[in-house]
Amino acid sequence: MERISLCPGCTACPEVVIDGDTIRIGEDANIATLKKDEWNVLVDLIQSGQLGRV
């Protein structure tokens, strides 16, 4: 299992947890769960520039 904080300066912020074929993003009760294929689509959209900063 890999954990990546979205705010490396503390432990209270949302995190990305990669656990096998499941990726969870968020904190406490606010969690989005993606399967590996869904995560890869998201990464591809970001890398291709179709999704960017808001």
Write out the two tokens for 21. 């074929």
For each of the chain's 54 residues, which pLDDT tens digit applies? 999 998 878 777 899 999 999 999 998 889 999 999 999 999 999 999 999 999
Q: Where are the domains of the chain?
A: 2-47
**DSSP H or E stretch at residue 51:** none
pLDDT of residue 3: 92
- Which residue, 52, 15, 8, is CA-closest to 30? 15
Q: What is the DSSP string of 4-44?
A: EESSTT-SSS-EEEEETTEEEEEETTEEEEEEHHHHHHHHH
